């Protein structure tokens, strides 16, 4: 299954590559997404080897979970193509679920339903009628696989933010791709951060709000190993240093870092 998934991912990447204008934000984004898929796959492998509920699962089951992680962004390429040709944004997770359901090999609800919701607020999964109608044991599997995808996705993006400064404009630009230049923290971002929420992305975001938003992703991490992996890679310290450099409100930085460290220490993560 995994080899077929890798081929499918590469085929989707090549399908639209020729229409992407070279040397533009679109070409950078497009090429980054194939690399991102492999980075998420690598982070997912790290988690899959350690998460307790997966221990003693048969090889076929582990391959199914890894396949779900690998294919989470299979329709990112279609999303970029739709932006270029129709100036329309599609939900790549929803499109991926539909696409995978149309295949014989990957039409497994433990693959496509976690992918459908990997980019949504987790409450959208919980309220999904298909999810609610599953037997309890299968519902739990879908949820825990979704947690793996969401965590691995965050690890890959946060690692890129931390170590690839040339890629930060992709993450720290406005929704239209324009650069942000305001370094103060907005009141709504402060409120979200100290409420233990993921900081909202709005058209009014400053560059400091956006950077704080990535640090606040740790409020939505599920597995203890996801945090320890980020610590092992030095991601958390690098991101904090980057935020401290960007944010003009140094008192807020000091106060937030104390809150952030305490939350990580007290949070009851899954093993």
pLDDT higher than 80, residue 181: no
pLDDT at 176: 44
Q: Is 223 helix (H, G, I), strand (E, B) or coil?
A: strand
pLDDT at 259: 96
Q: Using alpha carbons, select from 44, 75, 46, 60 the residue that is nearest to residue 2.
A: 60
Residue 120 gets which letter from DSSP? S
pLDDT at 29: 87
H helices, E strands: number in the chain: 15, 0
pLDDT at 180: 56
d(CA 45, CA 127): 28
Identify the weakest region by mean pLDDT among 17-31, 72-86, 208-222: 17-31
d(CA 152, CA 268): 18
d(CA 101, CA 112): 7
- Which residues does 21 contact at the CB level (< 8 Å), separation at least 6? 27, 84
Report the half-sphere exposure of 198 (CA within 13 A, side-chain side): 13
- pLDDT bin (cut points 50, 70, 90) of residue 23 is confident
Identify the weakest region by mean pLDDT among 15-29, 103-117, 224-238: 15-29
């Amino acid at each position: 299954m995994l080899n077929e998934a890798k081929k499918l991912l590469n085929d989707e990447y090549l399908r639209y590559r020729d229409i992407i204008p070279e040397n533009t934000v679109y070409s950078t984004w497009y090429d980054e997404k194939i690399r991102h898929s492999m980075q998420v796959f690598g982070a997912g492998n790290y988690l899959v080897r350690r998460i307790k509920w997966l221990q003693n699962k048969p090889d076929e089951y582990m391959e199914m979970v890894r396949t779900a992680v690998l294919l989470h962004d299979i329709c990112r390429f279609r999303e970029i193509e739709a932006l270029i040709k129709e100036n329309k944004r599609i939900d790549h997770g929803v499109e991926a679920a539909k696409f995978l359901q149309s295949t014989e090999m990957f039409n497994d609800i433990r693959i496509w339903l976690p992918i459908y919701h990997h980019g949504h607020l987790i409450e959208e999964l919980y309220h999904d009628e298909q999810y609610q109608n599953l037997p309890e044991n299968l519902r739990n599997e879908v949820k825990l696989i979704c947690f793996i995808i969401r965590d691995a996705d965050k690890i890959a993006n946060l690692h890129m933010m931390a170590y690839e400064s040339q890629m930060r404009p992709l993450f720290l630009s406005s929704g239209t791709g324009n650069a942000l230049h305001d370094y103060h923290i907005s009141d709504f971002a402060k409120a979200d951060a100290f409420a233990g929420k993921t900081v909202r992305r709005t058209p009014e975001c400053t560059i400091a709000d956006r950077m704080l938003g990535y640090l606040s992703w740790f409020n939505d991490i599920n597995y203890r190993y996801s945090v320890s992996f980020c610590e092992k890679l030095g991601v958390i310290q690098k991101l904090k240093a980057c935020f401290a450099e960007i944010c003009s409100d140094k008192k807020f930085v000091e106060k937030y870092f104390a809150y952030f460290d305490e939350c990580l220490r007290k949070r009851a993560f899954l093993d």
